[in-house]
Amino acid sequence: MRRRSSDNRDMSDDKNIIEKAADKMGNLIEKASDTVDNVSKFQKQSKLKSGYIERNEFKDSDLHKGFFCYNCIYWIDMTGGKCMIVDDKGPDLFGKISDVIAPHGCCSLYEPNFDEINEKKK
Chain residues in the site for ligand SF4 (CB under 6 A): 50, 52, 69, 72, 74-75, 83, 85-86, 101, 105-107, 109-110
Kindly tell me which of 28 and 84 has the beta carbon lying closer to ligand SF4: 84
Separation of alpha carbons 20 and 66, rounded Å: 57
Kindly tell me which of 83 and 98 has the beta carbon lying closer to ligand SF4: 83
Kindly tell me which of 23 and 52 has the beta carbon lying closer to ligand SF4: 52
DSSP state of 117: H
What is the smallest separation between the CB atom of 95 and ligand SF4, expressed in angstroms?
Answer: 17
Q: Which helix (H) or strand (E) holds 78?
A: none
Q: Please, is 50 exposed, middle or buried when counting C-beta atoms within 10 Å of its C-beta (0-12, 13-18, 19+)? A: buried
DSSP state of 57: G
What is the smallest separation between the CB atom of 73 and ligand SF4, expressed in angstroms?
Answer: 7
